[in-house]
Structure 1
Amino acid sequence: MKQITFTTTFSVYDSLEELKDQDQQLMLQAIEARKKAYAPYSKFSVGTALLLENGEIILGSNQENAAYPSGLCAERVAIFYAGANYPDTKVLKLFISATPQDRELEEPIPPCGSCRQSIAEYEMKQDSNIEIYFMGSKGKVYHSNSLKNLLPFLFEKKHL
Protein backbone atom coordinates (compact mmCIF):
# COMPACT_ATOMS: atom_id res chain seq x y z
CA MET A 1 0.00 0.00 0.00
CA LYS A 2 1.08 3.54 -0.72
CA GLN A 3 -0.23 6.72 0.89
CA ILE A 4 -0.71 9.99 -0.92
CA THR A 5 -0.64 13.30 0.92
CA PHE A 6 -2.14 16.48 -0.49
CA THR A 7 -1.19 19.89 0.85
CA THR A 8 -3.22 22.99 0.10
CA THR A 9 -2.36 26.58 0.77
CA PHE A 10 -4.78 29.41 1.51
CA SER A 11 -4.17 33.02 2.41
CA VAL A 12 -6.20 34.14 5.42
CA TYR A 13 -7.17 37.78 5.86
CA ASP A 14 -8.42 38.76 9.31
CA SER A 15 -11.04 41.05 7.78
CA LEU A 16 -12.40 42.41 4.55
CA GLU A 17 -10.40 45.60 5.07
CA GLU A 18 -7.11 43.70 4.56
CA LEU A 19 -7.97 42.88 0.94
CA LYS A 20 -6.65 44.98 -1.94
CA ASP A 21 -9.08 47.76 -2.89
CA GLN A 22 -10.48 46.03 -6.00
CA ASP A 23 -10.87 42.72 -4.16
CA GLN A 24 -12.54 44.48 -1.25
CA GLN A 25 -15.03 46.12 -3.63
CA LEU A 26 -15.78 42.79 -5.28
CA MET A 27 -16.41 41.13 -1.91
CA LEU A 28 -18.71 44.01 -0.98
CA GLN A 29 -20.65 43.30 -4.19
CA ALA A 30 -20.89 39.63 -3.20
CA ILE A 31 -22.27 40.73 0.18
CA GLU A 32 -24.88 42.90 -1.56
CA ALA A 33 -25.78 40.02 -3.89
CA ARG A 34 -26.22 37.80 -0.80
CA LYS A 35 -28.93 40.16 0.41
CA LYS A 36 -30.91 39.37 -2.76
CA ALA A 37 -30.87 35.60 -2.22
CA TYR A 38 -34.15 33.74 -2.41
CA ALA A 39 -33.74 31.25 0.44
CA PRO A 40 -37.12 30.77 2.16
CA TYR A 41 -36.44 27.09 2.96
CA SER A 42 -32.85 26.87 4.16
CA LYS A 43 -32.76 30.47 5.40
CA PHE A 44 -29.09 30.43 4.33
CA SER A 45 -28.12 33.24 1.96
CA VAL A 46 -25.15 33.21 -0.38
CA GLY A 47 -23.90 35.91 -2.73
CA THR A 48 -21.15 35.87 -5.32
CA ALA A 49 -19.29 38.28 -7.55
CA LEU A 50 -17.23 37.09 -10.51
CA LEU A 51 -14.56 39.20 -12.15
CA LEU A 52 -14.14 38.41 -15.82
CA GLU A 53 -11.03 39.04 -17.92
CA ASN A 54 -12.87 41.79 -19.85
CA GLY A 55 -13.61 43.69 -16.60
CA GLU A 56 -17.26 42.62 -16.40
CA ILE A 57 -18.55 41.79 -12.93
CA ILE A 58 -21.24 39.12 -12.70
CA LEU A 59 -23.32 38.80 -9.53
CA GLY A 60 -25.25 35.79 -8.31
CA SER A 61 -27.28 34.71 -5.29
CA ASN A 62 -28.73 31.37 -4.31
CA GLN A 63 -32.23 30.72 -5.66
CA GLU A 64 -34.18 28.01 -3.85
CA ASN A 65 -37.26 26.09 -4.92
CA ALA A 66 -39.75 24.01 -2.93
CA ALA A 67 -39.10 21.17 -5.39
CA TYR A 68 -35.61 20.32 -4.15
CA PRO A 69 -33.10 20.19 -5.83
CA SER A 70 -34.51 22.56 -8.45
CA GLY A 71 -32.84 25.60 -6.91
CA LEU A 72 -29.33 26.76 -7.70
CA CYS A 73 -26.38 27.93 -5.63
CA ALA A 74 -25.08 31.47 -6.02
CA GLU A 75 -21.75 30.36 -7.46
CA ARG A 76 -23.42 28.37 -10.26
CA VAL A 77 -25.94 31.15 -10.95
CA ALA A 78 -23.03 33.52 -11.62
CA ILE A 79 -20.63 31.18 -13.42
CA PHE A 80 -23.34 29.75 -15.68
CA TYR A 81 -24.49 33.28 -16.53
CA ALA A 82 -20.91 34.19 -17.40
CA GLY A 83 -20.54 31.03 -19.48
CA ALA A 84 -23.78 31.70 -21.35
CA ASN A 85 -23.16 35.39 -22.01
CA TYR A 86 -19.37 35.57 -22.21
CA PRO A 87 -18.40 32.08 -23.43
CA ASP A 88 -14.88 33.00 -24.54
CA THR A 89 -14.02 35.28 -21.61
CA LYS A 90 -11.97 33.92 -18.72
CA VAL A 91 -13.19 34.06 -15.15
CA LEU A 92 -10.38 35.57 -13.07
CA LYS A 93 -11.80 35.75 -9.56
CA LEU A 94 -14.80 34.50 -7.59
CA PHE A 95 -15.93 36.13 -4.32
CA ILE A 96 -18.38 34.41 -1.96
CA SER A 97 -20.19 35.61 1.15
CA ALA A 98 -22.57 33.24 2.98
CA THR A 99 -24.51 33.32 6.23
CA PRO A 100 -27.71 32.11 7.89
CA GLN A 101 -30.44 34.75 7.81
CA ASP A 102 -30.94 34.68 11.60
CA ARG A 103 -27.37 35.41 12.74
CA GLU A 104 -23.95 36.67 11.73
CA LEU A 105 -21.50 33.96 10.72
CA GLU A 106 -17.77 34.62 11.03
CA GLU A 107 -16.65 31.24 9.65
CA PRO A 108 -15.63 31.41 5.97
CA ILE A 109 -17.93 29.23 3.85
CA PRO A 110 -16.41 27.59 0.75
CA PRO A 111 -18.40 26.45 -2.29
CA CYS A 112 -20.38 23.21 -1.97
CA GLY A 113 -19.29 20.09 -3.85
CA SER A 114 -21.53 20.71 -6.87
CA CYS A 115 -20.24 24.26 -7.18
CA ARG A 116 -16.64 23.07 -6.83
CA GLN A 117 -17.11 20.71 -9.76
CA SER A 118 -18.75 23.46 -11.83
CA ILE A 119 -15.95 25.93 -11.08
CA ALA A 120 -13.41 23.20 -11.89
CA GLU A 121 -15.04 22.76 -15.30
CA TYR A 122 -14.47 26.43 -16.08
CA GLU A 123 -10.86 26.32 -14.87
CA MET A 124 -10.25 23.36 -17.19
CA LYS A 125 -12.13 25.00 -20.09
CA GLN A 126 -10.13 28.22 -19.86
CA ASP A 127 -6.88 26.44 -18.91
CA SER A 128 -6.16 28.94 -16.15
CA ASN A 129 -6.87 29.24 -12.45
CA ILE A 130 -9.83 31.03 -10.92
CA GLU A 131 -8.94 32.75 -7.67
CA ILE A 132 -11.54 32.14 -4.96
CA TYR A 133 -12.20 34.36 -1.95
CA PHE A 134 -14.78 33.27 0.61
CA MET A 135 -16.13 34.48 3.93
CA GLY A 136 -19.15 34.33 6.20
CA SER A 137 -21.07 37.53 6.81
CA LYS A 138 -18.08 39.13 8.52
CA GLY A 139 -14.66 38.23 9.86
CA LYS A 140 -11.91 36.28 8.13
CA VAL A 141 -11.62 35.96 4.37
CA TYR A 142 -9.94 32.88 2.87
CA HIS A 143 -8.22 33.08 -0.49
CA SER A 144 -7.23 30.22 -2.78
CA ASN A 145 -5.30 30.66 -6.03
CA SER A 146 -7.23 27.82 -7.64
CA LEU A 147 -10.22 25.56 -7.21
CA LYS A 148 -7.72 22.67 -7.13
CA ASN A 149 -7.00 23.57 -3.48
CA LEU A 150 -10.64 22.83 -2.66
CA LEU A 151 -11.06 19.82 -4.92
CA PRO A 152 -7.73 18.03 -5.42
CA PHE A 153 -9.18 15.03 -7.27
CA LEU A 154 -10.90 16.64 -10.24
CA PHE A 155 -13.34 14.78 -12.43
CA GLU A 156 -12.22 15.92 -15.87
CA LYS A 157 -13.40 15.46 -19.44
CA LYS A 158 -10.32 13.29 -20.05
CA HIS A 159 -11.96 10.70 -17.77
CA LEU A 160 -14.97 10.35 -20.06
Structure 2
Amino acid sequence: MEKEYSFTYQIFTDIDQLSEEDTLLLQKARANTQNAYVPYSSFQVSAIALMHNGAIVKGTNQENASYPVGICAERVLLSTISSVQPNVAVKTIAISYHNLNGESLRPVAPCGMCRQALLEQENRFKQPIKIILSGMEGEVIIVENARQLLPFNFSAEDML
Protein backbone atom coordinates (compact mmCIF):
# COMPACT_ATOMS: atom_id res chain seq x y z
CA MET A 1 0.00 0.00 0.00
CA GLU A 2 1.20 3.47 -0.79
CA LYS A 3 -0.20 6.70 0.62
CA GLU A 4 0.61 10.32 0.03
CA TYR A 5 0.75 13.19 2.49
CA SER A 6 0.54 16.78 1.38
CA PHE A 7 -0.60 20.09 2.79
CA THR A 8 -1.19 23.60 1.62
CA TYR A 9 0.65 26.64 2.92
CA GLN A 10 0.91 30.26 1.88
CA ILE A 11 4.06 32.02 0.67
CA PHE A 12 4.31 35.80 0.70
CA THR A 13 7.19 37.68 -0.90
CA ASP A 14 7.49 40.01 2.10
CA ILE A 15 5.83 41.16 5.30
CA ASP A 16 3.83 43.90 3.54
CA GLN A 17 1.48 41.28 2.09
CA LEU A 18 0.34 39.99 5.51
CA SER A 19 -2.74 41.02 7.47
CA GLU A 20 -2.19 43.82 9.98
CA GLU A 21 -2.40 41.36 12.89
CA ASP A 22 0.17 38.98 11.36
CA THR A 23 2.45 41.87 10.37
CA LEU A 24 2.54 43.22 13.93
CA LEU A 25 3.23 39.78 15.39
CA LEU A 26 6.06 39.08 12.93
CA GLN A 27 7.58 42.52 13.55
CA LYS A 28 7.62 41.73 17.27
CA ALA A 29 9.23 38.34 16.60
CA ARG A 30 11.93 39.91 14.46
CA ALA A 31 12.70 42.57 17.09
CA ASN A 32 12.71 39.97 19.88
CA THR A 33 15.52 37.94 18.26
CA GLN A 34 17.98 40.28 20.00
CA ASN A 35 16.94 38.75 23.35
CA ALA A 36 18.21 35.28 22.42
CA TYR A 37 21.22 33.93 24.30
CA VAL A 38 23.38 32.40 21.57
CA PRO A 39 27.10 32.69 22.41
CA TYR A 40 27.90 29.43 20.54
CA SER A 41 25.83 29.40 17.35
CA SER A 42 25.17 33.14 16.83
CA PHE A 43 21.75 32.03 15.51
CA GLN A 44 19.11 34.08 17.33
CA VAL A 45 15.56 32.67 17.20
CA SER A 46 12.40 34.30 18.50
CA ALA A 47 8.92 32.84 18.85
CA ILE A 48 6.02 35.10 19.80
CA ALA A 49 2.47 33.96 20.47
CA LEU A 50 -0.78 35.82 20.11
CA MET A 51 -3.14 34.22 22.58
CA HIS A 52 -6.89 33.93 22.05
CA ASN A 53 -7.42 36.52 24.81
CA GLY A 54 -5.20 39.05 22.96
CA ALA A 55 -2.13 38.64 25.19
CA ILE A 56 1.32 38.47 23.62
CA VAL A 57 3.88 36.01 25.03
CA LYS A 58 7.55 35.90 23.95
CA GLY A 59 10.31 33.30 23.85
CA THR A 60 13.86 33.07 22.49
CA ASN A 61 16.39 30.29 22.17
CA GLN A 62 18.75 29.85 25.11
CA GLU A 63 22.06 28.08 24.52
CA ASN A 64 24.35 26.41 27.02
CA ALA A 65 27.97 25.22 26.84
CA SER A 66 26.55 21.77 27.52
CA TYR A 67 24.59 21.61 24.24
CA PRO A 68 21.79 19.27 25.34
CA VAL A 69 20.87 21.79 28.06
CA GLY A 70 19.96 24.53 25.55
CA ILE A 71 16.34 25.06 24.57
CA CYS A 72 14.71 26.26 21.36
CA ALA A 73 12.67 29.46 21.22
CA GLU A 74 9.45 27.56 20.49
CA ARG A 75 9.72 25.43 23.63
CA VAL A 76 10.77 28.43 25.74
CA LEU A 77 7.63 30.13 24.46
CA LEU A 78 5.35 27.17 25.20
CA SER A 79 6.83 26.79 28.69
CA THR A 80 6.28 30.48 29.37
CA ILE A 81 2.70 30.23 28.12
CA SER A 82 2.01 27.34 30.50
CA SER A 83 3.17 29.58 33.38
CA VAL A 84 1.62 32.95 32.51
CA GLN A 85 -1.41 31.97 30.37
CA PRO A 86 -2.06 28.36 31.45
CA ASN A 87 -5.73 28.22 30.49
CA VAL A 88 -5.64 30.18 27.23
CA ALA A 89 -5.18 28.70 23.76
CA VAL A 90 -2.60 30.03 21.33
CA LYS A 91 -4.05 31.68 18.22
CA THR A 92 -0.89 32.41 16.20
CA ILE A 93 2.86 31.99 16.61
CA ALA A 94 5.39 34.03 14.62
CA ILE A 95 8.89 32.55 14.43
CA SER A 96 11.82 34.56 13.13
CA TYR A 97 15.60 34.32 13.32
CA HIS A 98 18.69 36.46 12.91
CA ASN A 99 21.82 34.66 11.78
CA LEU A 100 24.64 36.84 13.11
CA ASN A 101 27.13 34.99 10.87
CA GLY A 102 25.17 35.20 7.62
CA GLU A 103 21.89 36.05 5.98
CA SER A 104 18.42 35.81 7.49
CA LEU A 105 16.39 36.06 4.29
CA ARG A 106 14.39 32.84 4.10
CA PRO A 107 11.97 31.18 6.49
CA VAL A 108 13.18 28.29 8.62
CA ALA A 109 10.89 25.75 10.26
CA PRO A 110 10.90 24.46 13.84
CA CYS A 111 12.97 21.37 14.67
CA GLY A 112 11.23 18.02 15.17
CA MET A 113 11.12 18.30 18.97
CA CYS A 114 9.48 21.73 18.72
CA ARG A 115 6.99 20.47 16.14
CA GLN A 116 5.93 17.77 18.60
CA ALA A 117 5.62 20.36 21.41
CA LEU A 118 3.55 22.68 19.18
CA LEU A 119 1.25 19.81 18.26
CA GLU A 120 0.80 18.90 21.93
CA GLN A 121 -0.32 22.49 22.58
CA GLU A 122 -2.85 22.23 19.74
CA ASN A 123 -4.13 18.92 21.08
CA ARG A 124 -4.36 20.26 24.64
CA PHE A 125 -6.72 23.08 23.68
CA LYS A 126 -8.25 21.44 20.60
CA GLN A 127 -7.43 24.63 18.67
CA PRO A 128 -5.23 24.99 15.58
CA ILE A 129 -2.18 27.22 15.94
CA LYS A 130 -1.37 29.30 12.86
CA ILE A 131 2.39 29.48 12.37
CA ILE A 132 4.19 32.34 10.63
CA LEU A 133 7.78 31.63 9.53
CA SER A 134 10.26 34.27 8.36
CA GLY A 135 13.78 35.57 8.66
CA MET A 136 14.58 39.20 9.34
CA GLU A 137 13.31 40.13 5.88
CA GLY A 138 12.17 38.47 2.69
CA GLU A 139 9.76 35.61 2.14
CA VAL A 140 7.12 34.66 4.71
CA ILE A 141 5.43 31.27 5.01
CA ILE A 142 2.14 30.74 6.84
CA VAL A 143 1.06 27.26 7.89
CA GLU A 144 -2.51 26.96 9.17
CA ASN A 145 -1.72 24.49 11.98
CA ALA A 146 1.12 22.63 13.64
CA ARG A 147 -0.32 19.22 12.72
CA GLN A 148 0.66 19.89 9.11
CA LEU A 149 4.33 20.07 10.10
CA LEU A 150 4.38 16.66 11.77
CA PRO A 151 2.29 14.07 9.94
CA PHE A 152 3.60 11.04 11.85
CA ASN A 153 3.31 12.47 15.33
CA PHE A 154 3.13 10.78 18.70
CA SER A 155 0.00 11.50 20.74
CA ALA A 156 -2.00 10.36 23.77
CA GLU A 157 -3.92 7.95 21.50
CA ASP A 158 -0.67 6.05 20.93
CA MET A 159 -0.49 5.24 24.63
CA LEU A 160 -3.94 3.63 24.89
TM-score range, shorter chain: over 0.9
- The alignment's TM-score, normalised by the length of structure 2, stands at 0.96
Q: Which amino acid aligns with 1:139?
A: G
- State how far apart, in whole Å, the 1-side matches of 2:98 and 2:56 are: 22
Instruction: Return the structure number with greater helix share.
Output: 2
Cα distance, 1:40 vs. partner? 0.8
Structure 2 spans left out of the alignment, 5+ residues:
none
- The alignment's TM-score, normalised by the length of structure 1, stands at 0.96
> 1:99-110 counterparts in 2 under 5 A?
99-110=98-109
Task: Give structure 1 regions of 4+ aligned residues with deviation exceeding 6 angstroms.
Answer: none
- State how far apart, in whole Å, the 2-side matches of 1:51 and 1:136 are: 19
Quote the residue 1:158 is aligned against: 157
Cα distance, 1:103 vs. partner? 2.3
Cα distance, 1:105 vs. partner? 2.0
Cα distance, 1:78 vs. partner? 0.9
Q: Which amino acid aligns with 1:86?
A: Q
> 1:139-154 counterparts in 2 under 5 A?
139-154=138-153
SS at match of 2:67: coil
8 A contact 1:53–1:92 mirrored in 2:
yes
Cα distance, 1:157 vs. partner? 1.0
Q: C-alpha root-mean-square deviation of aligned residues, in Å?
A: 0.9
Q: Deviations over 1:51-97 (max 9, x none)?
A: 00111100111110001111111111111111122111000100000
Q: Which amino acid aligns with 1:13?
A: F
State whether structure 2 residue 122 is matched by structure 1 residue 126.
no
Cα distance, 1:154 vs. partner? 1.6
Aligned length, in residue pairs: 159
8 A contact 2:94–2:132 mirrored in 1:
yes
